[in-house]
């Protein structure tokens, strides 16, 4: 963990990308017949540095064993590695280790909360402490129009199972949550929203939404998939009740995500998945369950992935999340400036750096996003095209698909320039320039 | 440059000036298809002759990329005026080429302008684009025959 260079020169945003990129083997490969890879799709999945790959390999070569079972030396070492990973990741997001549950991904984290609430709503055989999670006919689940499908469909399903009503904050033309367009009521049980939109890049007014949710006694569920990898996030200070994020978007492995829940809530919440290692006492007739976080980690968990994610957290910590965010804002500013100047390009989302992160979505008049993406791909530039799992948001902006460029700490100004040049080339190729 | 292999001039021509575009009356069946990975849509109508054996008209509206629009335009050239059985043979040949990862040598006798889409087959992510209109056509024809059976 020493290959990250110290800050060169003055200013928080200066990251020596030349040295840092050497940590990411994949960034030096070529694609499509010898083109240098320009990877601008970190919003979908980020690339992993050697330090993360090495940590996984070291664990598997030296310590691999099933955690929280067995009394042999490897079992001890594996359990220590797994719990050490939990503690380091918890510290990274300003939480206590006991408040962090490892899940398969962030999607599972949101489903865990939604299903725990659904289970609580069937008031049979669960303790009275679970009643606070129950929802029923006429209760409201509130989300926003900009949500990723992962923070939309699980709530639709919870509503379908319980008779609760799904409501949502609309989105303004600038790509912000329109706080004036919906009033929470004393029937609102959950307010769930993305910390940063995976399409627009806009950052939600968390404090205000938490204040409003508190005023009506609703739980706050934060989708932090696009914030935790890119900026300092202190979940305890944000005062949200639950939050989720995924490993593979923050330079870590896929197959591991995190659910954060306030200690007293996790303590009272019934399980989602059940089975081995989440139990306290099992008889043929019935069982009791372990305290959190184990209650929510049924079965042998992903372990090398958790270890790899902790290594990613160490890597990011060494760089400093303020610098990561500043670096990505530099790139975002350059992308907005370059794209704005191209005739026929429309930015979908805030056209300023105010309360914004490093995802830039846009459409090109007369050229479908797929076709723009194909021209970029031909030049070695990887972007996301489509609705980015936020179909209702695209509908709201009257477009079927957008092109999205998204950044991480390893991206450079030259790569942004290549993107802008590529978009120009797409217009020329399709004869709209 | 690989781009020109995919976007052959024939494809760009159909994209810029699509044949038989727009939704028309009368029609026997309509199919609406979407590509869930990108949100592209096509609504396509089929009109068969009295006997239900010949394709008299295909009309459509698409919201999608150049590949899906051009492919639907080419489809109408290839199937309108053909027997239903022949149109299904063309469809099968087009589908086989599109899903062939670039290994299927297309027969120009059968596919006409459709052979221009052979390059698309090398890009798995775009195969669905090329097939969107064709799947709508297949679905609409099935609906016509089902409608006749229940009538």
At residue A18 the predicted structure's pLDDT band, cuts being 50, 70 and 90, is very high
Q: Are A230 and A324 in contact (CB under 8 A)?
A: yes
Give the pLDDT confidence score for residue B1 in this predicted structure: 55
Q: H-helix or E-strand containing B56?
A: strand B55-63
Domain A17-40+320-430 -> CATH class? alpha beta
d(CA A99, CA A40): 33
d(CA B98, CA A361): 30
State the ipTM, two decimals. Answer: 0.89
Asked if residue A281 has pLDDT above 50, the reply is yes
Place of tokens 């097939």: B131
Give the pLDDT confidence score for residue A13 in this predicted structure: 52
Give the pLDDT confidence score for residue A16 in this predicted structure: 92
Give the pLDDT confidence score for residue A183 in this predicted structure: 98
Q: What is the DSSP letter of A25?
A: G
Q: Where are the domains of chain B?
A: 1-145
Q: Are A134 and A161 in contact (CB under 8 A)?
A: no
| Inter-chain CB proximity B38 and A430 less than 8 Å | no
Give A283: exposed, middle or buried? Use CB within 10 Å, 0-12, 13-18, 19+.
Answer: exposed
Q: H-helix or E-strand containing A24?
A: none
At residue B2 the predicted structure's pLDDT band, cuts being 50, 70 and 90, is confident
Residue pLDDT, tens place only, A132-163: 999 999 999 999 999 999 999 999 999 999 99
- The region of weakest confidence among A13-17, A173-177, A405-409 is A13-17
Closest residue of B to A32, CA-based? B2
Residue pLDDT, tens place only, A356-387: 999 999 999 999 999 999 999 999 999 999 99
At residue B149 the predicted structure's pLDDT band, cuts being 50, 70 and 90, is low
- Given the candidates 3.50.50.60, 2.140.10.10, 3.90.1010.10, 3.30.565.10, the CATH classification of the domain at B1-145 is 3.90.1010.10
Q: Which two tokens stand for residue A26?
A: 């994949």
At residue A166 the predicted structure's pLDDT band, cuts being 50, 70 and 90, is very high
At residue B84 the predicted structure's pLDDT band, cuts being 50, 70 and 90, is very high
Residue pLDDT, tens place only, A39-67: 999 999 999 999 999 999 999 999 999 99
A389 part of the active site: yes
Coil vs helix vs strand at B23: coil
Number of other CB atoms surrounding residue A383 within 10 Å: 26
Q: Which two tokens stand for residue A91?
A: 């510290």
Helices vs. strands in chain A: H and E counts, helices first: 13, 17
Q: Which residues of A touch B39 (CB under 8 A)?
A: 386-387, 391, 394, 400-401
Q: What is the DSSP letter of B32?
A: E
What angle do helix axes A304-319 and A321-340 make, rounded to 10 degrees? 80
Give the pLDDT confidence score for residue A69 in this predicted structure: 85
Q: Which residues of B touch A398 (CB under 8 A)?
A: none
| Inter-chain CB proximity B65 and A430 less than 8 Å | no
Mean pLDDT of A189-212: 98
How large a percentage of chain A has pLDDT more than 70?
97
d(CA A258, CA A219): 18
Q: Where are the domains of chain A?
A: 17-40+320-430, 53-317
Q: Which two tokens stand for residue A82?
A: 């797994």
CA A429 to chain centre: 35
Residue pairs spanning A and B at CB distance below 8 A: 53
Q: Are A81 and A303 in contact (CB under 8 A)?
A: yes
Q: What count of residues does chain A have?
A: 433
Substitution target from B65, B71, B72, B123 for chain A, most A beta carbons within 10 A: B65
Q: Identify the CATH number of the domain defined by range A53-317.
A: 3.40.640.10
| Inter-chain CB proximity B3 and A374 less than 8 Å | yes
Asked if residue A328 has pLDDT above 80, the reply is yes
Mean pLDDT of A317-344: 97
Give the pLDDT confidence score for residue A2 in this predicted structure: 36
| Inter-chain CB proximity B38 and A370 less than 8 Å | yes
Read out DSSP for A277-298?
TSEEEE-SS-EEEPPTTGGG--
d(CA A388, CA A397): 14
Closest residue of A to B4, CA-based? A429
> Does residue B123 sit at the A interface (CB-CB below 8 Å)?
yes
At residue A401 the predicted structure's pLDDT band, cuts being 50, 70 and 90, is very high
Residue pLDDT, tens place only, A84-116: 999 999 999 999 999 999 999 999 999 999 999
d(CA B52, CA A23): 65
How large a percentage of chain B has pLDDT more than 70?
97
Asked if residue A219 has pLDDT above 70, the reply is yes
d(CA A394, CA A272): 32
At residue A7 the predicted structure's pLDDT band, cuts being 50, 70 and 90, is very low
Mean pLDDT of A178-184: 98
Substitution target from A30, A369, A373, A374 for chain B, most B beta carbons within 10 A: A374
CA distances from B75 to A255, A337, B41, B82, B118 (A): 42, 41, 16, 11, 14
Asked if residue B76 has pLDDT above 60, the reply is yes
Q: Which two tokens stand for residue A257?
A: 């995500």
Choice among A203, A256, A389, A419 that is catalytic? A389
Substitution target from A371, A392, A426 for chain B, most B beta carbons within 10 A: A371
> Does residue A392 sit at the B interface (CB-CB below 8 Å)?
no
Give the pLDDT confidence score for residue A325 in this predicted structure: 96
Q: Which two tokens stand for residue B70?
A: 């051009």
Q: What is the mean pLDDT of chain A?
A: 95
Q: Are B91 and B52 in contact (CB under 8 A)?
A: no
Closest residue of B to A430, CA-based? B12
- The region of weakest confidence among A67-71, A402-406, B67-71 is A67-71
Q: What is the DSSP letter of A191?
A: E
Reference A259, options A144, A111, A48; nearest CA is A111
CA distances from A123 to A113, A162, A273, A353, B117 (A): 16, 12, 18, 47, 58
Pairing status of strand A359-364 against strand A402-406 = antiparallel
Give the pLDDT confidence score for residue B150 in this predicted structure: 61
Give the pLDDT confidence score for residue A49 in this predicted structure: 98
| Inter-chain CB proximity A394 and B12 less than 8 Å | no
Q: Which residues of B touch A44 (CB under 8 A)?
A: none
Asked if residue B44 has pLDDT above 90, the reply is yes
CA A293 to chain centre: 20
Across the interface, of B1, B16, B65, the residue whose CB is closest to A371 is B65
| Inter-chain CB proximity B2 and A33 less than 8 Å | yes
| Inter-chain CB proximity A371 and B66 less than 8 Å | yes
Give the pLDDT confidence score for residue B145 in this predicted structure: 86
Residue pLDDT, tens place only, B109-148: 999 999 999 999 989 889 999 999 999 999 999 999 888 7
At residue A410 the predicted structure's pLDDT band, cuts being 50, 70 and 90, is very high
Give the pLDDT confidence score for residue A238 in this predicted structure: 98
At residue A6 the predicted structure's pLDDT band, cuts being 50, 70 and 90, is very low
Give the pLDDT confidence score for residue B39 in this predicted structure: 81
């Amino acid at each position: 963990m020493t290959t990250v260079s110290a800050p060169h020169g003055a200013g928080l945003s200066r990251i020596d990308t030349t040295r840092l990129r050497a940590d990411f083997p994949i960034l030096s490969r070529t694609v499509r017949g010898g083109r240098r890879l320009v990877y601008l799709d970190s919003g979908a999945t980020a690339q992993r540095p050697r330090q993360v790959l090495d940590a996984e390999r070291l664990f598997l070569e030296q310590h691999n064993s099933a955690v929280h079972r067995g009394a042999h030396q490897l079992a001890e070492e594996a359990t220590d590695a797994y719990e050490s990973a939990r503690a380091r990741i918890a510290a990274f997001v300003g939480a206590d280790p006991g408040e962090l549950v490892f899940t398969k991904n962030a999607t599972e984290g949101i489903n865990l909360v939604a299903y725990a609430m659904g289970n609580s709503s069937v008031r049979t055989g669960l303790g009275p402490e679970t009643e606070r999670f129950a929802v029923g006919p006429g209760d409201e689940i509130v989300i926003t129009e900009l949500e990723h499908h992962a923070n939309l469909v699980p709530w639709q399903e919870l509503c379908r199972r319980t008779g609760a009503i799904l409501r949502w904050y609309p989105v303004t033309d600038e790509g912000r949550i329109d706080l004036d367009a919906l009033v929470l009521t004393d029937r609102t049980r959950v307010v769930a929203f993305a910390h940063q939109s995976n399409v627009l890049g806009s950052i939600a007014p968390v404090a205000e939404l938490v204040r409003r949710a508190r005023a009506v006694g609703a739980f706050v569920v934060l989708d932090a998939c696009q914030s935790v990898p890119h900026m300092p996030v202190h979940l305890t200070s944000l005062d949200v009740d639950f939050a989720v994020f995924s490993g593979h978007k923050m330079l870590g492995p896929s197959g591991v995500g995190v659910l954060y829940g306030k200690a007293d809530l996790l303590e009272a919440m019934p399980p989602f998945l059940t089975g081995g290692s989440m139990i306290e006492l099992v008889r043929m007739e019935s069982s009791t369950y372990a305290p959190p976080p184990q209650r929510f980690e049924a079965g042998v968990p992903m372990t090398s992935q958790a270890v790899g994610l902790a290594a990613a957290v160490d890597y990011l910590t060494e760089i400093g999340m303020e610098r990561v965010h500043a670096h990505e804002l530099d790139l975002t500013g350059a992308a907005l400036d370059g794209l704005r100047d191209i005739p026929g390009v429309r930015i979908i989302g805030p056209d300023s750096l105010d309360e914004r992160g490093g995802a830039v979505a846009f459409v090109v008049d007369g050229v479908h996003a797929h076709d723009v993406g194909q021209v970029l791909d031909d030049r070695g530039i990887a972007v996301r095209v489509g609705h980015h799992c936020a179909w209702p948001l695209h509908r709201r902006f009257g477009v079927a698909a957008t092109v999205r460029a998204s950044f991480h700490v390893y991206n450079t100004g030259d790569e942004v320039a290549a993107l802008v040049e590529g978009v120009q080339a797409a217009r020329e190729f399709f004869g709209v320039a | 440059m690989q781009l020109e292999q995919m976007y052959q001039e024939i494809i760009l021509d159909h994209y810029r000036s699509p044949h038989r575009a727009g939704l028309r009356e009368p029609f026997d069946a309509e199919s609406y298809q979407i590509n869930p990975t990108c949100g592209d849509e096509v609504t396509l109508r089929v009109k068969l002759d009295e006997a239900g054996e010949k394709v008299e008209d295909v009309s459509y509206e698409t919201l999608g990329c150049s590949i899906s629009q051009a492919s639907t335009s080419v489809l109408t050239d290839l199937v309108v005026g053909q027997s239903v059985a022949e149109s299904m043979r063309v469809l099968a040949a087009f589908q086989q080429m599109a899903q062939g990862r670039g290994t299927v040598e297309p027969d120009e006798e059968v596919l006409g302008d459709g052979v221009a889409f052979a390059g698309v087959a090398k890009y798995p992510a775009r195969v669905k684009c090329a097939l969107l209109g064709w799947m709508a056509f297949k679905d609409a024809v099935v609906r016509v025959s089902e409608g006749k059976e229940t009538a």
